[in-house]
């Protein structure tokens, strides 16, 4: 690891799809310490080997984001590699076809797509503020579904699309909430829909047709991580590169209730 990289980036979900494509682009940045996260150690090592010789310094961290203890351990792993974090890209996601519960008793899609970035971002705030101005990018979606607070484990009936949509609505909502709590000149938090039905693992496994290319998603995501025009811009949701509205996620009452329930679920209240 370089003694003093000019930029440190953490990318979750770096072994497939959009995350893998982002890793290729970010690895081409000299003076960067690129920390790649994955759940599967062997796949992550294969990515690292592929990127050997790139202009960025590459480090890897392994964690199952379906286990909140492992999420907290992931933050500790990152802190062991660096004392600052300039960019956090919360990209990892899942959407299994059947209902699954995590070791913590949470519905898996909600846990990985929402609870994990909720915990990870807050655990890493000391590193983010140390690198101020820093950026957090939530890879979300235009796909959105209501969050039934009375059935967060979807025991009453599981639907893959609804599970995915509600997790992404929650992620965007928390992006708005946390952005309102942090000074924009220290840490900005923005969310985006990177593209529709890109050729990712989730789309391939669902048998869906592709619409946008991975390059569309890469360009849209890197813009939020890099573009100087977005310095100090926070609490926004973008459809690719255009500002978009998310009225359900922005609803103050929904956000208040979501925050209270989430704190209970992750054990911070």
List, by residue number, the catalytic residues: 164
- Taking alpha carbons only, the member of 23, 59, 60 closest to residue 222 is 23
Quote the CATH superfamily of domain 7-266.
NAD(P)-binding Rossmann-like Domain (3.40.50.720)
Distance between CA atoms of 184 and 1, rounded to whole angstroms?
Answer: 29
DSSP strands (E only) in the chain? 7-11, 32-38, 57-62, 87-90, 134-139, 187-193, 236-239, 242-244
Structure tokens belonging to residue 79: 């802190």
Distance between CA atoms of 22 and 222, rounded to whole angstroms?
Answer: 8
Structure tokens belonging to residue 198: 């890109």
Per-residue pLDDT of the chain (269 residues; tens, 9 = 90+): 445 899 999 999 999 999 999 999 999 999 999 999 999 999 999 999 999 999 999 999 999 999 999 999 999 999 999 999 999 999 999 999 999 999 999 999 999 999 999 999 999 999 999 999 999 999 999 999 999 999 999 999 999 999 999 999 999 999 999 999 999 999 999 999 999 865 665 554 555 655 678 999 999 999 999 999 999 999 999 999 999 999 999 999 999 999 999 999 999 75
Give per-residue pLDDT as tens, 29-88: 999 999 999 999 999 999 999 999 999 999 999 999 999 999 999 999 999 999 999 999
Instruction: Find out whether 221 and 168 touch, Cβ atoms under 8 Å.
Output: no
Half-sphere exposure of residue 37: CA atoms within 13 angstroms, side-chain side: 26
Long-range contact set of residues 73-80: C-beta below 8 Å, sequence gap at least 24 = 74/37, 74/120, 75/119, 75/120, 75/123, 75/124, 78/10, 78/35, 78/124, 78/127, 79/124, 79/126, 79/127
pTM value is 0.94
Q: What pLDDT score was predicted for residue 269?
A: 57
Distance between CA atoms of 173 and 19, rounded to whole angstroms?
Answer: 22
Q: What pLDDT score was predicted for residue 1?
A: 43
Domain ranges of the chain: 7-266
List Cα–Cα distances, 244 to 118, 169, 198, in angstroms. 22, 13, 19
Distance between CA atoms of 107 and 86, rounded to whole angstroms?
Answer: 31
Distance between CA atoms of 30 and 160, rounded to whole angstroms?
Answer: 40
Q: Is the peptide bond before 133 cis (omega within 30 degrees of 0)?
A: yes
Distance between CA atoms of 141 and 121, rounded to whole angstroms?
Answer: 18
Distance between CA atoms of 113 and 139, rounded to whole angstroms?
Answer: 9
Q: What pLDDT score was predicted for residue 197?
A: 62
Three-state SS for 119? helix
Question: Radius of gyration of the chain from Cα atoms?
Answer: 17
């Amino acid at each position: 690891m370089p003694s003093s990289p000019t930029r440190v980036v953490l990318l979750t979900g770096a072994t497939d799809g959009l995350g893998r494509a982002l890793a290729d682009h970010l690895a081409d940045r000299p003076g960067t310490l690129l920390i790649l996260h994955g759940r599967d150690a062997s796949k992550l090592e294969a990515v690292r080997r592929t990127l050997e010789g790139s202009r960025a310094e590459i480090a890897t961290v392994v964690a199952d984001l379906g286990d909140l203890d492992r999420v907290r351990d992931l933050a500790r792993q990152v802190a062991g590699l660096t004392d600052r974090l300039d960019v956090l890209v919360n990209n990892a996601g899942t959407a299994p076809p059947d209902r699954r519960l995590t070791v913590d008793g949470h519905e898996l899609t909600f846990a990985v797509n929402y609870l994990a970035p909720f915990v990870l971002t807050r655990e890493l705030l000391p590193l983010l503020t140390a690198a101020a101005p820093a950026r957090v990018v939530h890879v979300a979606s235009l796909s959105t579904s209501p969050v039934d607070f009375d059935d967060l484990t979807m025991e009453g009936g599981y639907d893959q699309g609804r599970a995915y949509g509600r997790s992404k609505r929650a992620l965007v909502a928390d992006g708005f909430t946390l952005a309102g709590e942090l000074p924009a000149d220290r840490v900005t938090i923005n969310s985006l829909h990177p593209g529709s039905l890109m050729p990712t693992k989730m789309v391939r496994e669902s048998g869906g047709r592709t619409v946008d290319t991975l390059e569309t998603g890469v360009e849209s995501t890197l813009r939020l991580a890099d573009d100087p025009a977005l310095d100090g811009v926070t609490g926004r949701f973008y459809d690719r590169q255009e500002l978009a509205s998310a009225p359900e996620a922005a609803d103050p009452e929904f956000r208040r209730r979501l925050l209270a329930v989430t704190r209970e679920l992750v054990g911070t209240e």
